[in-house]
């Protein structure tokens, strides 16, 4: 097997507190650009070519949330990303080629064709896979945190979900479990204002997801989810709270789903003005403007990051496309241990 | 000093917790109170609150948390206060726990203890036998011990298993049966049936509390010269098809018995197992004695009419013997 193309900026995990803002901006730009390019390639090219089948759910416009949060994770932390949090996988060091192979149903994907799209995980990288019933990972995150605490580690569980997930019983049971048992969980909501076709007003009668925090005795804050620096700073507070043994913390990152629910959904139910309005708040553009304004970067350096990302994605797609489809004989095995 | 079925489960859990610091208990009212049936009484005093975790009323939360801890390499034993409430944690069990290994090679060592079964006048929500909801799910293991020996040996195997195990413990057996257990350590393998009584004329294949009904019937039938073999499945998933087929091959007649309701009960799977395996050896139609397709009723005459019993088994066995 040829070398699996990976991400160039895969580096030591950990907060960049000591790093200058310029370095943080560079890392954020790299991961956000990589997520945008990867998902564009999947949704707008491979899916249309028929090389990616089934459901495709992207986080276009939401990249600041997985990046700004996961950059705080330490190796011993465990993350439970949802389906619009692709960058979490990059930050935890999953090779890009394996992610494309996963989407293409090939050997070498994280599930070797047994599952598709964002239904992937790798405990050795501290990543738990979602299942389709979203919010199911919320009580699981509580259990992960329980284990981290049980072992006396300083680890934190990062539990990701959308606004729609907060309607489900599992969300409430998981959050309540974490608060009652005072477990180290950082709950990260990407409130992108639509759950499939249902707007927030059809999902909950309170104004903010964060309103739910105090009902469980949990601190909660509202964050501009399209400002990666704001997300990063807020996550720092949340993680410090959880690591200090003070229990869970809820971050509601306000954003907007700049696509349909999935690749087959034209999202005609979303007023076009909302897309226009939120397009002006694109998190990548905002990051670039801020970086130039503060002198952390310049246009040439920014262009170089995007060019590098495109090259990495090209290589990863080419690698994935060379991987075989699974042998039908691999239908069996590993249903149970030792098979 | 004989050990009860309940005490056997307690002993098994206690020994596993002493043996492996990764084993812990999680559930409702299991710590200070010691559990609704007192299976875990005294555990929190000995092992502490870290390893005996009292939770809110939250079956999905309990199973979800057990899955999370299992993914991290701990060995959680989650208690459903009654098996009937396991439906509240259904998605976590069948969609999360059962599929992790197959999908992304992640082990979920976890035991879900579920006190099940009728005969205690518990009514529709404290008497059910929901084992077949889980037997349909690849990735799970389902065990239903009938004796104190098996209860202890199987709970220990379940705790050590690297896959999720649903452990159905029959409430009516908790304090009703007892036996002397070996003083040395033992386990009982998951997926292996046992012959509870040997016989040459017909095989009754059953599990859980119905094993005792079958044994009582066999004793009475022996007085009539009918030798009934009793196969105790012990595990429903994986199912020990070989032992079932071997027994029917020997007796050529099969009576399938379960306390669970009739349609799509274990008897259906067993009947096909027998026809696939030893059809040529059958001398009679396969028959079954089960609960009818109704909820479990509360009032004693209704529940008595609902539950399979010795008389019903004897009637079918005599018919089968004459055939």
* Domain ranges within chain B, ordered by starting residue: 3-179, 194-322
Alpha helices in chain B (DSSP H): 5-19, 43-47, 59-71, 90-91, 100-104, 131-135, 148-160, 210-222, 241-251, 266-278, 300-306, 310-322
CB contact under 8 A, B102 and A335: yes
Confidence label for B313 from pLDDT (cuts 50, 70 and 90): very high
pLDDT tens digit sequence for B111-150: 999 999 999 999 999 999 999 999 999 999 999 999 999 9
Confidence label for B279 from pLDDT (cuts 50, 70 and 90): very high
Mean pLDDT of B11-26: 98
pLDDT at B52 over 70: yes
Sign for the pseudo-dihedral over CA of A230, A184, B67, A71: positive
Contacts of B84 (CB under 8 A, 6+ apart): B116, B125, B126, B127, B128, B130
Residue of A194, A213, A238 whose CA lies nearest to A77: A238
ipTM of the complex: 0.96
The nearest alpha carbon in chain B to A334 belongs to: B102
User: Residue B227 in 3-state DSSP?
Assistant: coil
Percent of chain A whose pLDDT exceeds 90: 92
CB contact under 8 A, B68 and A120: no
Contacts of A129 in chain B (CB under 8 A): 100, 103-104, 106
Are the C-beta atoms of residues A216 and A247 closer than 8 Å to each other? no
Residue recorded with tokens 């019983």: A169
Confidence label for A18 from pLDDT (cuts 50, 70 and 90): very low
Q: Most B CBs within 10 Å: which of A110, A123, A173, A176, as the mutation test of the B interface?
A: A173
CATH 3.60.20.10 fits domain B194-322: no
Domains of chain A, each with CATH number or no CATH = 21-323 (3.40.50.970)
Residue recorded with tokens 């705080």: A72
Say if B168 is an interface residue toward chain A (CB within 8 Å).
no
User: Residue A297 in 3-state DSSP?
Assistant: coil
Confidence label for B198 from pLDDT (cuts 50, 70 and 90): very high
The four Cα atoms A146, A152, A156, A161 give a dihedral, to 10 degrees, of -10
Backbone angles phi, psi at B237, to 5 degrees: -145, 115
Mean pLDDT of A249-269: 95
Residue of B74, B70, B240, B66 whose CA lies nearest to B144: B240
> For the domain B3-179, what is the CATH code?
3.40.50.970
Residue of A312, A321, A324 whose CA lies nearest to A50: A321
CB contact under 8 A, B95 and A138: no
Mean pLDDT of A98-121: 97
pLDDT at A1 over 50: no
pLDDT tens digit sequence for B283-305: 999 999 999 999 999 999 999 99
pLDDT at B55 over 90: yes
Sign for the pseudo-dihedral over CA of A306, A307, A313, A317: positive
Separation between Cα atoms, residue B63 and residue A167, nearest integer Å: 19
Mean pLDDT of A311-337: 98
Common-topology check for domains B3-179 and B194-322: yes
Q: Most A CBs within 10 Å: which of B68, B87, B103, as the mutation test of the A interface?
A: B68
Report chain A's terminal Cα–Cα distance, integer Å: 24
Which residue among B58, B73, B102 places its CB closest to the CB of A177? B58
Mean pLDDT of A125-149: 98
Mean pLDDT of A208-233: 98
Contacts of A180 in chain B (CB under 8 A): 55-56
pLDDT at A13 over 90: no
The pTM of this model reads: 0.96
Say if B75 is an interface residue toward chain A (CB within 8 Å).
no
pLDDT at A20 over 80: no
Give the orientation angle of helix A96-103 with respect to helix A299-322, to 10 degrees: 50
Burial degree of A12 (CB within 10 A; 0-12, 13-18, 19+): exposed
Confidence label for B56 from pLDDT (cuts 50, 70 and 90): very high
Backbone angles phi, psi at A107, to 5 degrees: -65, 140
Separation between Cα atoms, residue B44 and residue B49, nearest integer Å: 6
Mean pLDDT of B301-312: 98
> Does A269 qualify as catalytic in the annotation?
yes
């Amino acid at each position: 097997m040829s070398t699996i193309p990976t991400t160039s900026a895969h580096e030591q995990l950990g907060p960049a507190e000591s790093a200058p803002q310029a370095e943080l901006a560079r890392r954020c730009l790299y991961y956000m650009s990589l997520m945008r390019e990867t998902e564009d390639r999947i949704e707008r090219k491979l899916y249309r070519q028929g090389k990616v089948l089934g459901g495709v759910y992207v986080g276009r416009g939401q990249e600041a949330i997985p990046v700004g949060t996961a950059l705080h994770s330490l190796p011993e932390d465990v993350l439970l990303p949802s389906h619009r949090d692709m960058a979490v996988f990059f930050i935890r060091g999953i090779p890009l080629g394996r992610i494309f192979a996963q989407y293409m149903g090939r050997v070498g994907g994280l599930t070797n064709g047994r599952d598709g799209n964002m239904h992937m995980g790798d405990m050795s990288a501290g990543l738990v896979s979602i299942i389709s019933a979203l919010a199911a990972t919320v009580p699981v995150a509580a259990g992960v945190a329980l284990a981290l605490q049980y072992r006396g580690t300083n680890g934190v569980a990062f539990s990701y979900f959308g606004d729609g997930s907060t309607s489900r019983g599992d969300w409430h049971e998981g959050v309540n479990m974490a608060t009652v048992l005072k477990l180290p969980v950082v709950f990260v909501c990407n409130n992108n204002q639509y759950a499939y076709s249902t707007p927030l007003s059809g999902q909950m009668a309170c104004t903010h997801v964060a309103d739910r925090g105090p009902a469980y005795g949990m601190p909660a804050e509202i964050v501009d989810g399209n400002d990666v620096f704001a997300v990063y700073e807020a996550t720092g507070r949340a993680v410090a709270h959880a690591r200090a043994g003070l229990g869970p913390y809820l971050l509601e990152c306000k954003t907007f789903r700049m696509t349909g629910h999935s690749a087959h959904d034209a999202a005609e139910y979303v007023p076009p003005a909302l897309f226009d309005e939120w397009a002006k708040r694109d998190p990548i553009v905002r990051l670039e403007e801020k970086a130039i304004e503060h002198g952390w970067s310049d246009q040439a350096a920014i262009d170089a990051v995007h060019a590098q990302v495109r090259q990495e994605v090209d290589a990863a797609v080419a690698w994935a496309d060379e991987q075989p489809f699974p042998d039908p004989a691999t239908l069996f095995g590993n249903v149970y241990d030792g098979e | 000093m004989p050990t009860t079925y309940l005490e056997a489960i307690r002993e098994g859990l206690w020994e596993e917790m002493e043996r492996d610091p990764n084993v812990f208990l999680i559930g409702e009212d299991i710590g200070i109170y010691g559990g609704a049936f007192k299976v875990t009484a005294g555990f929190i005093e000995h092992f502490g609150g870290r390893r005996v975790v009292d939770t809110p009323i939250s079956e999905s939360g309990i199973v979800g948390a057990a899955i999370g801890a299992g993914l991290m390499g701990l060995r959680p034993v989650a208690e459903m206060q009654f098996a009937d409430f396991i439906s509240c944690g259904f998605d976590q069990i069948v969609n999360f726990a059962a599929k992790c290994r197959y999908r992304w090679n992640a082990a979920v060592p976890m035991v879900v203890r579920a006190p099940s079964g009728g005969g205690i006048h518990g009514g529709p929500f404290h008497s059910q036998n929901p084992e077949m909801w889980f037997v349909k799910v690849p990735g799970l293991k389902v065990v239903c011990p009938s004796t104190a020996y098996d209860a202890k040996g199987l709970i220990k195997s379940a705790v050590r298993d690297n896959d999720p195990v649903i452990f159905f413990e029959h409430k009516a057996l908790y304090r009703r049966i007892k036996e002397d257990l070996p003083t040395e350590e033992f386990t009982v393998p998951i997926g292996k049936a046992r012959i509870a009584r040997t016989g040459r004329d017909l095989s009754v294949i059953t599990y859980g509390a119905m094993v005792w009904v079958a044994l009582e019937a066999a004793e009475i039938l022996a007085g009539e010269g009918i030798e009934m073999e009793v196969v105790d499945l012990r595990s429903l998933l994986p199912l020990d098809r070989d032992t079932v087929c071997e027994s029917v091959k020997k007796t050529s007649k099969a009576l399938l018995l379960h306390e669970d309701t009739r349609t799509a009960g274990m008897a259906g799977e067993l009947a096909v197992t027998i026809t696939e395996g030893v059809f040529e050896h059958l001398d009679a139609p396969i028959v079954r004695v089960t609960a009818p397709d109704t909820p479990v009723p509360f009032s004693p005459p209704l529940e008595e009419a609902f539950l399979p019993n010795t008389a019903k088994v004897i009637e079918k066995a005599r018919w089968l013997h004459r055939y």
